[in-house]
Amino acid sequence: MSNAATFDTRTDSAIPVESPLAYSYRRSGAPAAGPESRVTLRERALLGQLVLRGGAIVLDEAVREVLGLGLPGEPQGLVQDERGERSIQWLSPDEWLVIVPGGEEFELETRLRERLGDAHYAISDVSGGQTLLELEGEAARELLMKTVIYDVHPSHFPVGRGVTTVFAKATAIVRRPSEERWELVVRRSFADYCYRWLLDAGEEYAIGVVR
């Protein structure tokens, strides 16, 4: 195990916990999705999120063994398990974002560290620092076009892709885990801005929030 400090930041479920959008729901509300909604927004809150840094070969072997998933082979790649619950996304040539169900991240980090031994790598827990928003519906892509500067056309942004790009005047990770669904990973402190932006830009599509 490498000489780094690990820290399980989670505790028993009786302790109240607030997602990054908790304030936004109170402040801006959450318009219900209806039959006219051409796009819906849903927060997948409190997931486990780890940033992996290191050499691709070493890390690939470790995540295959521990998580059962290999690193994406290409830049902007996104791979996920069969149920779509665990994913690994390319962030840079030596950086990946791993998202797992909330609560799994500490054990995953611990096992990866055991597996990686003395190799040079880094794992940072960022679960509290970002949240995942899902967009679904026929207007989702146009809503993204209003918002991100990256080309989200299906010919350029197929399923299995994820990028870090400019989101309005903030930044976000944009991912396409399936044909129908887009995901945004936004930083906690920017989450309210992103939420308000999406509601505003989505108004003409009767955007609804699924809670």
Partner 1 sequence: MSQSKKQVHRLAKGGRIDRSRTLSFTFNGQSYQGHPGDTLASALLANGVDIVNRSFKYSRPRGIVAAGAEEPNAIVQLGSTEAAQVPNVRATQQALFAGLTARSTNGWPNVQRDLMGLFGKLGGKFMPPGFYYKTFMAPASLWMTYERYIRKAAGLGRSPMEADPDTYDHLHQHCDVLVVGGGAAGLAAALAAARSSARVIVADEQEEMGGSLLDSRETLDGKPADQWVAQVVKELAGYDNVTLLPRTTANGYHDHHFVTLHERRTEHLGETAPLVKGRRQVRARMHRVRAGQVILATGAHERPLVYAGNDVPGNMLAGAVSTYIRRYGVAPGHKLVLTTSNDYGYRAALDWKEAGREVVAIVDARQSPAGDWVEAARAQGIKIITGSAVIEAKGGSRVSAARVAKIDIDAFQVSGPAQELACDTIASSGGYSPVIHLASHTGARPTWRDDILGFVPSLVKGVHACGGANGTYALGEVLAEGVEAGIKAAAVTGHAAPAVSLPQVKALKQGPAAPLFQVPHEKPTLRAPKQFVDLQNDVTAAGIELATREGFESIEHVKRYTAMGFGTDQGKLGNINGMAIAARCLGRPIPEVGTTVFRPNYTPVTFGAIVGRHCRDLFDPERYTALHQWHVEHGAEFEDVGQWKRPWYYPQTVNGKVETLHEAVARECSAVREKVGILDASTLGKIDIQGPDAREFLARVYTNKWEKLAVGKCRYGLMCKDDGMVTDDGVTSCLADNHFLMTTTTGGAAAILEWLELWHQTEWPELDVYFSSVTDHWATMTITGPEARKLLAEITDIDLDKESFKFMEWRAGKVAGVPARVYRISFTGELTFEINVQANYAMHVWQTLFKHGEKYGLTPYGTETMHVLRAEKGFIIVGQDTDGSVTPEDLGMQWCVGYDKPFSWIGKRALTRSDTKRENRKQLVGLKPKDPKVVLEEGAQIVFDPKHAIPMPMAGHVTSSYYSPTLDSGFALAVVKGGHQKMGETVYLPMADGQTHEAKIVSPIFYDPKGERQNV
Partner 2 sequence: MFYIYCPYCGEHREEEEFHPKGQAHIERPKDPEACSDEAWGDYLFFRDNPRGVHHELWVHAVGCRKFFNVTRHTVTYEILETYKMGEQPSITADAQGQPREAVAASRQEGVRA
Q: Residue numbers of the site for partner 1 (CB under 8 A)?
A: 2-5, 7-12, 14-20, 22-23, 26, 36, 46, 51, 53-54, 94, 120-130, 142, 145-146, 148-151, 153, 155-156, 168-170, 187-190, 192-193, 196-197, 200-201, 203-204, 206
Closer to partner 2 at the Cβ: 22 or 170? 170
75 binds partner 2 (CB under 8 A): yes
76 binds partner 2 (CB under 8 A): yes
Q: CB within 8 A of 210, min separation 6: which ones?
A: 33, 40, 41, 42
Distance CA 77, CA 62 (A): 18
Q: Which does 58 bind (CB under 5 to 8 A by kind): partner 2, partner 1, none?
A: none
Asked whether the beta carbons of 91 and 42 are under 8 A apart, the reply is: no
- Residues in 97-126 at the binding interface with partner 2, rule: CB under 8 A: none
- Residues in 133-152 at the binding interface with partner 2, rule: CB under 8 A: 149-150
Segment near partner 2 (CB under 8 A), from 18-26, 98-106, 119-127, 160-168? 160-168
- The tokens for 148 are 């991100």
154 binds partner 2 (CB under 8 A): no
Distance CA 158, CA 165 (A): 16
Asked whether the beta carbons of 50 and 59 are under 8 A apart, the reply is: no
Distance CA 62, CA 14 (A): 33
Which residues, in sequence order, are bridge partners of residue 162?
Answer: 175
Segment near partner 2 (CB under 8 A), from 7-15, 114-122, 164-172, 194-202? 164-172
Q: Amino acid letter at 171?
A: T
155 binds partner 2 (CB under 8 A): no
Which residues, in sequence order, are bridge partners of residue 131?
Answer: 186
